[in-house]
Amino acid sequence: MKNFILDVDTGVDDAFALLFAARHPEINLLGVTCVDGNTNLKQVVINTLKVLDAAEAGDIPVGVGATRPLIDEPRYAEYVHGADGLGDLNYPESTRTVDPRPAVELIRDLVEGSKDPVTLIPLAPLTNIALFLRSFPETAKKLERIVLMGGSASQGNATASAEFNIWHDPEAAAIVFQSGIPITMYGLDVFGDLKMDNSFAKRLHEKSHAPSTFGAKLIDAMLARHKEEITLGDYGAVAVALYPELSTQETMKVMVDTTFGPNRGATICDHRPIEYQELGYTKSWLEQNLTVQVCKTIKVDELRELWMDTLSRS
């Protein structure tokens, strides 16, 4: 059993991740925290509670976090996820209530209260996580690992070089990458690989089970909107946190570009031999910027079937 905390900006593919995390028998989902990103924080919270309903999840605490990035103005992605950030399915609002603790306090209490190690899985801009690291550094040291969806060792999506979650709050991302906590980066190098099409949605509909039907409707909505294969996206990060063997990973130094030029928010991934790195960077930079496990490939068929099986189990 693995203890996970998810940080989300729900978001259709965050919903795919939440459905999986809430239903997988080997995941103990300790809590979920919300941050602005794909859409505004209020809508993120509404969407997150709805998805937990759809997953038929138990009483999982949901913490409300940052309303905007540390420095930049928020910039949303409704063009991808629909006006409500959740495919505009118009599912009824949940009667669940949010936890009274702010997100950073909820994370602290869940980590401190857990007997076993906790993995933190941010699937969103890293604002909440940076605030948590700065607020409770001693608790942060107890984390087993951060497995984050974000960044890219190749090209970007929000800009030519920057991935959306990192670009949305580069300063927060820099704090996380320099934290000294072991990090796995599930970025754009693999993010788009878990493609789904109409036949996948049809198989999911045939399961006739509430969580899988919700997942299938989300896929239908995204296929109608984007008219092409779409991806399970953020889900992959949760699956790789549970089963790292379903990915190949390379060790790299990762630096976040926090300058205000065209590469703002890019993750510069350095996997040159250490002697070359030492030529260009100071020793303190090398010590400060942690080596990161960067996902390079994933086992696509196994991961897709794992998601479908998990949503379909009663």
**Binding stretches for Ca ion (CB under 5 A):** 9, 11, 14, 123-124, 234
Interface mask toward ligand BDR for 6-25; x: CB under 6 A: -----x-xx-----------
Minimum gap (Å) between residue 193 Cβ and ligand BDR: 13
Closest CA to 91 of 258, 217, 235: 217
Q: Which is nearer to ligand BDR, 104 or 124 (CB)?
A: 124
Q: Of these partners, ligand BDR, Ca ion, none, which one is at the site of residue 77 (CB under 5 to 8 Å by kind)?
A: ligand BDR
Q: Of these partners, Ca ion, ligand BDR, none, which one is at the site of residue 80 (CB under 5 to 8 Å by kind)?
A: ligand BDR
Q: Which is nearer to Ca ion, 161 or 231 (CB)?
A: 231
Q: Which is nearer to ligand BDR, 109 or 163 (CB)?
A: 163
Which one among 102, 211, 233, 236 touches ligand BDR, defined by CB under 6 A?
233
Q: Which is nearer to ligand BDR, 10 or 139 (CB)?
A: 10
Q: Which is nearer to ligand BDR, 132 or 191 (CB)?
A: 191
The reply to whether 234 sits near ligand BDR by the rule CB under 6 A is yes
Q: Of these partners, Ca ion, ligand BDR, none, which one is at the site of residue 164 (CB under 5 to 8 Å by kind)?
A: ligand BDR
Minimum gap (Å) between residue 128 Cβ and ligand BDR: 14
Please report, as ranges, the residues that interact with ligand BDR according to CB under 6 A.
Answer: 11, 13-14, 38, 77, 80, 123-124, 149, 157, 163-165, 191, 233-234
